[in-house]
Structure 1
């Protein structure tokens, strides 16, 4: 399975945000970080791939154009997590996950129950199963939102800032779970993020969107460099290696533009 994006353009009314985006094919088993400063179109790209944003061009999953799929079939193949947290309702967490699980097309109740239990355990939210969403913190609701995505067992995950409301421990846990999901299921996850260090640590590939419409994709250390940090973010920075061998972005200051 591969995800291919060719000549993708999208925007809002008279304002064009993405123009003719063309990327190398993304293979199965890949976690791809989508990075770039505010306003360059990260959320627009994720929404366009999810079919929630008008777009032109072609997007294919396993050589099949997503635009030709029925809404039901697209729901089975593509799972989208927005930036906004799940609404604080009177429903309990288990009910939220149960509703999401039915979108997978699975009809055997035992399989659905097992999938919910497996996802809840991997994310560490089993103790929240009978809690109402209105009783949960923002971070806990974000975890529930991710759980709703994972129980659908879709081959393509589109995650828009999935760690924004989480503390350091849960950021690491979430991305570990997502990386394990894509490798075990040979799925693909596209994760929009402002955290460059998390992107460098977990991503197999990085897509960097820059002001002016420039778009680059490649291995993390090929894309995130001193030059690209200056061009894309307007900062003087560098990538070094910590004592455990992880690459780390260090920013020295604002660049003279």
Structure 2
């Protein structure tokens, strides 16, 4: 079983400390985990620290996986290379080494991830021709094509329309269930989080405020601490949890 836990993680840019003493219980694989917090709370910094792009105090503990099994999809999906969508996904697969000749198994992996994210009609399009949402889909495909056991995605639905948001979250949830991978998504839409993510890690002002089952974490008091708003979590006619915003309650912890 794959899991990830953080032990007193810290990170800084120059003299400015961004994260301090970030510790979590084991975050399980097989389900989606949300990373939530206000703008500038340290979500992207935390992902970069976990991915090894930043140094700092503390440890990232992996069970059932090694660092090479980790893939990180940042917010920025700018793509200017003169490659087709299909070629770019092959390139992402082969960046781990092993030469450039594709085996039948690797071709199947490329085709499968293109199908998973509905990119078949775009496979021959050049990357600079794509819209922001299309680039985000390609970036998600590039992240998953090698079959990683640890996946970090920073706002993977931010450029997508409602239909595509739902499709991508369902595709990621299916990937986690099929592979047992730890999949952590930084998301701003808390209704998406409640619908799709089993576990939630909430950070504010560079520290952990809560980590656990999503509906136990996303309480009105926690949402107030994170975002400075009063809210309610109620059930819709189908029994699904929905967050309703009542209005501002004061300054959020991280703005």
Question: TM-score, normalised to structure 2's length?
Answer: 0.92
Q: Alignment partner for residue 143 of structure 1, among 137, 159, 163? A: 137
Contact 1:4-1:26 within 8 A present in 2 as well:
yes
Q: Which residue of 1 is the match for residue 112 of structure 2?
A: 118
Q: Which residue of 2 is the match for residue 28 of structure 1?
A: 29
Whole-angstrom distance in 2 between the partners of 1:21 and 1:212:
8
User: CA deviation digits over 1:196-226, x for unaligned, max 9?
Assistant: 1111111110001123634210111111111
Contact 1:104-1:154 within 8 A present in 2 as well:
no
Secondary structure at the aligned position of 2:83 is classed as coil
User: Gapped runs of 5+ residues in structure 1?
Assistant: 67-73
Q: Which residue of 2 is the match for residue 51 of structure 1?
A: 52
Secondary structure at the aligned position of 1:23 is classed as coil
- Is 1:128 equivalent to 2:129 in the alignment? no
Q: Alignment partner for residue 85 of structure 1, among 58, 77, 89? A: 77
Secondary structure at the aligned position of 1:37 is classed as coil
Secondary structure at the aligned position of 2:80 is classed as coil
Pick which of 214-223 and 15-24 moved more.
Answer: 214-223
User: CA deviation digits over 1:46-82, x for unaligned, max 9?
Assistant: 1111111222201121177x6xxxxxxx4x4011100
Q: Which residue of 2 is the match for residue 179 of structure 1?
A: 173
Contact 2:199-2:212 within 8 A present in 1 as well:
yes
Q: Which residue of 1 is the match for residue 245 of structure 2?
A: 251
Pick which of 103-112 and 86-95 moved more.
Answer: 103-112
User: CA deviation digits over 1:78-134, x for unaligned, max 9?
Assistant: 111000013233210111000111245677511111111111111111111110011
Pick which of 244-253 and 99-108 moved more.
Answer: 99-108
* Moved beyond 6 Å, runs of 4+: none
Q: Cα 1:212–1:118, aligned 2, differ >3 Å: closer, same or farther?
A: closer
User: CA deviation digits over 1:235-256, x for unaligned, max 9?
Assistant: 0111111122221111110004
Contact 1:86-1:145 within 8 A present in 2 as well:
no
Contact 1:156-1:189 within 8 A present in 2 as well:
yes
Q: Which residue of 1 is the match for residue 94 of structure 2?
A: 102
Query: RMSD value over aligned CA atoms?
Result: 1.7
Whole-angstrom distance in 1 between the partners of 2:130 and 2:61:
37
- The alpha-carbon deviation at position 27 of structure 1 amounts to 2.0
- Is 1:236 equivalent to 2:230 in the alignment? yes
- Is 1:2 equivalent to 2:6 in the alignment? no
- Is 1:221 equivalent to 2:202 in the alignment? no
Whole-angstrom distance in 2 between the partners of 1:202 and 1:113:
30
Pick which of 233-242 and 96-105 moved more.
Answer: 96-105
Whole-angstrom distance in 2 between the partners of 1:141 and 1:147:
10
